[in-house]
């Protein structure tokens, strides 16, 4: 564990580096950020990060972070739970709620509970009312690296009362270390996706990918804007056992396969994300999660959790060259 920097508020941020087999990853205590991913023999990081803490405080806040307690969008910035209406921060276009607002888990400093050469456990306590939601909540994230080149993230969310949870790792990926992701090939094992409106929130429809630009069931290339991507791909109707759901392959032959227990995976083309001195479309944000805006769409899988039925997610990234 090494010092990474000091925030604007004077808080010390640490970097934890894990290694096993051919894979080395670094994680920050700020936002449980996956900051760096290195595969032996590949001369660049496979994820888009920064060595400067100030970059994460000034425009890169979601890069690599664990976003929650509700990832993605709540279209009208309010949710009803147990007969009560909860007003949330309107931090997207003045009307919507994105990634739990300015004080979401991506902006919090996580505590290191346990660590070894290849694993670290981070924990975060959220008081009742934080992020506009009820419940005293404890979130735990366990990152583990195993040979030959696997990274596993296990997320647990405990609460003392019924609340809402939908966490997602928000890493941006580029297998080639190139200026953009163009030329790389994507495969998503999803028969349906959620179309979005002008506010990038789900319309409530469930669309078959067949015959559309959203059909990624076979590994293929696609271009910037063709299709424009900021969509949830529907993998199942509820969380399930860990299974492979997506593959990204670079022109260099470096491949990442994602397995998750989650029923959805959001893919964002990065058209509005930019690291200092870099271009837009540099990486694809790929976010295993539950379907977005579920509290406003009764047909979507619920994101409610209780003391007796806590939140759990397992996601695994496997790399090869």
Q: How confident is the model at residue 11 (pLDDT cuts 50, 70, 90)?
A: very high
Indicate if the pLDDT at residue 45 is higher than 90.
Answer: yes
Name the fold adopted by 2-320: Beta-galactosidase; Chain A, domain 5 (2.70.98)
Q: Which 8-state DSSP code applies to residue 301? A: P
**How much is the pLDDT for 93?**
87
The per-residue pLDDT for range 207-266, each reduced to its tens digit, is 999 999 999 999 999 999 999 999 999 999 999 999 999 999 999 999 999 999 999 999
69-104 residue pLDDT tens: 999 999 999 999 999 999 999 999 889 999 999 999
Taking only the tens place, the pLDDT of each residue in 256-312 is 999 999 999 999 999 999 999 999 999 999 999 999 999 999 999 999 999 999 999
CA 124 remoteness from chain centre? 17
Whole-number pLDDT of residue 253 = 96
**What would the two tokens of residue 3 be?**
């010092």
Q: How high is the pLDDT of residue 217?
A: 98
Half-sphere exposure of 75 (CA within 13 A, CB side): 16
Pairing mode of beta strands 172-173, 66-67: unpaired
Average pLDDT score over the chain: 97
- Provide the greatest CA pair distance for the chain: 56
Asked if pLDDT for residue 191 goes beyond 90, the answer is yes
- Evaluate if residue 181 carries a pLDDT over 90: yes
Q: 19: exposed, middle or buried (C-beta count within 10 Å: 0-12, 13-18, 19+)?
A: middle
Please report the DSSP string for 179-240 in residue order: SSSTT-EEEE--SEE--B-TTSSB-S--EE-TTSTT--SS-EE-BTTBT--EEEEE--SS--
């Amino acid at each position: 564990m090494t010092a990474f920097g000091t925030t604007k508020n004077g808080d010390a941020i640490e970097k934890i580096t894990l290694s096993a087999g051919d894979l080395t990853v670094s994680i920050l205590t700020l936002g449980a950020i996956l900051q760096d991913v290195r595969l032996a023999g590949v001369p660049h990081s496979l994820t888009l990060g920064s060595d400067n803490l100030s970059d994460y405080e000034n425009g890169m806040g979601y890069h690599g972070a664990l976003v929650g307690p509700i990832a993605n969008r709540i279209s009208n910035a309010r949710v009803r739970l147990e007969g009560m209406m909860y007003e949330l921060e309107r931090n997207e276009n003045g009307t919507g709620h994105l990634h739990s607002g300015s004080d979401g888990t991506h902006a919090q400093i996580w505590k290191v509970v346990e660590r070894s050469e290849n694993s670290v456990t981070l924990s975060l306590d959220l008081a009742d009312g934080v992020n506009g939601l009820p419940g005293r909540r404890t979130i735990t994230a366990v990152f583990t690296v195993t040979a030959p080149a696997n990274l596993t993230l296990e997320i647990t969310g405990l609460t003392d009362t019924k609340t809402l949870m939908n966490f997602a790792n928000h890493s941006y990926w580029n297998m080639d270390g190139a200026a953009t992701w163009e030329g790389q090939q994507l495969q998503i094992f999803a028969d349906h996706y959620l179309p979005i409106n002008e506010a990038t929130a789900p319309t409530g429809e469930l669309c078959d990918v067949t015959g559309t630009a959203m059909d990624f069931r076979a590994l293929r290339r696609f271009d910037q804007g063709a299709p424009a991507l900021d969509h949830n791909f529907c993998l199942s109707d509820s969380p399930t056992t860990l299974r492979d759901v997506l593959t990204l392959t670079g022109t260099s032959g470096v491949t990442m396969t994602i397995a998750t227990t989650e029923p959805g995976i959001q893919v964002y083309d990065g058209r509005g994300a930019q690291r200092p001195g870099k271009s837009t479309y540099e990486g694809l944000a790929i976010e295993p999660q539950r379907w977005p805006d579920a509290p406003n769409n009764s047909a979507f899988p619920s994101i409610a959790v209780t003391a007796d039925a806590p939140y759990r997610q397992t996601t695994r990234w496997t790399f090869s060259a």
